[in-house]
Chains A and B, each alone.
Chain A
Amino acid sequence: MIKLTDVSYTYMTGGPFEKAAVSDVNLTLNNGDFIGLMGHTGSGKSTLIQMIAGLIKPTSGTIEIDGQTLHSKDCNMRKIRFKTGLVMQYPEYQLFEETVFKDIAFGPSNMQLPDEDIKRRVEFAADLVGLAPEILEKSPFELSGGQKRRVAIAGVLAMEPQLLILDEPTAGLDPAGRDEILCKIKDMHRRLGITVILVSHSMEDLANITNRIVVMNHGRVAMHDKTSEIFKKSEELQKMGLAVPQITEICEKLRAAGLPLSEGIYTVEMAKAEIEKVLKK
Chain B
Amino acid sequence: MFKDITLGQYFPGHSFIHRLDPRTKILAVIIYITSIFCIKSFLGYAVLAAFTVLCVLSSKIPFKFVLKGLKPIMIFVIITAIFNLFLTDGKILVRWSFITITYEGVRLAIFMVLRLFFLVLGTSILTLTTSPIALTDGIEYLLSPLKKVGVPAHELAMMMTIALRFVPTLLEETDKIIKAQTARGADFESGNLINRAKAMIPILIPLFISAFRRADDLAVAMECRCYRGGENRTRLRELKMKKGDVFGWFALVCLVGLIVLANVAYGRINI
Decide if B173 touches A93 in the complex (CB within 8 Å). Answer: yes
Contact of A95 among B68, B173, B179, B206 (CB under 8 A): B206
Q: How far is the CA of A111 from the CA of B62 in the complex (A)?
A: 46
Partner-binding segment picked from B130-138, B181-189, B215-223: B181-189
Decide if A55 touches B185 in the complex (CB within 8 Å). Answer: no
Q: Looking at B68, B177, B180, B183, which has the most chain A CB atoms within 10 Å of its CB?
A: B183
List CB contacts (< 8 Å) of A77-93 with chain B. 78, 81-82, 84-86, 88, 91, 93
CB-nearest residue of chain A to B11? A16
Q: How far is the CA of A126 from the CA of B56 in the complex (A)?
A: 57
Contact of B180 among A12, A56, A93 (CB under 8 A): A93
Q: How far is the CA of A93 from the CA of B212 in the complex (A)?
A: 13
Q: How far is the CA of A95 from the CA of B179 in the complex (A)?
A: 13
Question: Given A16-B11, A96-B202, does the pair A88, B186 have CB atoms closer than 8 Å?
Answer: no
Interface size on B, residues (CB 8 A): 26
Decide if B176 touches A12 in the complex (CB within 8 Å). Answer: no
List CB contacts (< 8 Å) of A111-142 with chain B. 111, 141
Residue-wise, chain B 177-206 has the 8 Å CB interface mask toward A (1 for contact) of 101111111110000000000000110011
Q: Main secondary structure on chain B at its contact with chain A?
A: helix
Decide if B179 touches A55 in the complex (CB within 8 Å). Answer: yes
Residues of B close to A53: CB separation below 8 A: 183
Q: How far is the CA of A12 from the CA of B2 in the complex (A)?
A: 10
CB-nearest residue of chain A to B62? A14
CB-nearest residue of chain A to B183? A86
Contact of A110 among B176, B187, B206, B209 (CB under 8 A): B187
Contact of B64 among A14, A78, A95, A141 (CB under 8 A): A14
Residues of A close to B210: CB separation below 8 A: 93
Question: Given A16-B11, A55-B179, A88-B179, does the pair A94, B65 have CB atoms closer than 8 Å?
Answer: no
In this assembly, does B12 line the interface, its C-beta being within 8 Å of a C-beta of chain A? yes
Residues of B close to A56: CB separation below 8 A: 179
Question: Given A14-B65, A78-B187, A159-B185, does the pair A106, B202 have CB atoms closer than 8 Å?
Answer: yes
In this assembly, does B3 line the interface, its C-beta being within 8 Å of a C-beta of chain A? yes
User: In angstroms, how far is the closest chain B Cβ from the Cβ of A44?
Assistant: 16
Residues of A close to B64: CB separation below 8 A: 14
Q: How far is the CA of A13 from the CA of B68 in the complex (A)?
A: 12
Residues of B close to A159: CB separation below 8 A: 184-185
In this assembly, does A206 line the interface, its C-beta being within 8 Å of a C-beta of chain B? no
Decide if A110 touches B186 in the complex (CB within 8 Å). Answer: yes
User: In angstroms, how far is the closest chain A Cβ from the Cβ of B15?
Assistant: 12
Q: How far is the CA of A78 from the CA of B189 in the complex (A)?
A: 11
List CB contacts (< 8 Å) of B1-41 with chain A. 3, 11-13
Decide if A50 touches B184 in the complex (CB within 8 Å). Answer: no
Residues of A close to B201: CB separation below 8 A: 96
Contact of A106 among B65, B68, B177, B184 (CB under 8 A): B184
Residue-wise, chain B 57-97 has the 8 Å CB interface mask toward A (1 for contact) of 00000101100100000000000000000000000000000
Question: Given A14-B64, A88-B180, A91-B180, does the pair A107, B173 have CB atoms closer than 8 Å?
Answer: no
In this assembly, does A37 line the interface, its C-beta being within 8 Å of a C-beta of chain B? no
User: In angstroms, how far is the closest chain A Cβ from the Cβ of B132?
Assistant: 15
In this assembly, does A100 line the interface, its C-beta being within 8 Å of a C-beta of chain B? no
User: In angstroms, how far is the closest chain A Cβ from the Cβ of B182?
Assistant: 6
Q: How far is the CA of A91 from the CA of B183 in the complex (A)?
A: 11
Residues of B close to A16: CB separation below 8 A: 11-13, 65
In this assembly, does A245 line the interface, its C-beta being within 8 Å of a C-beta of chain B? no
List CB contacts (< 8 Å) of A7-25 with chain B. 12-16
In addition to A50-B179, A88-B179, A94-B180, 12 A-B residue pairs with Cβ atoms within 8 Å of each other are A14-B64, A14-B65, A15-B65, A81-B183, A93-B173, A93-B209, A93-B210, A94-B184, A94-B206, A96-B205, A106-B202, A156-B184
27 residue pairs of the A-B complex, CB under 8 angstroms, read A12-B3, A13-B3, A14-B62, A14-B65, A14-B68, A16-B11, A16-B12, A16-B13, A55-B182, A78-B185, A78-B187, A81-B182, A81-B183, A85-B183, A88-B179, A88-B180, A88-B183, A93-B173, A93-B176, A93-B177, A93-B209, A94-B181, A94-B202, A106-B181, A106-B184, A111-B185, A156-B184
- List 5 A-B pairs, minimum CB-CB distance, nearest first: A110-B185, A94-B180, A96-B205, A107-B184, A86-B183
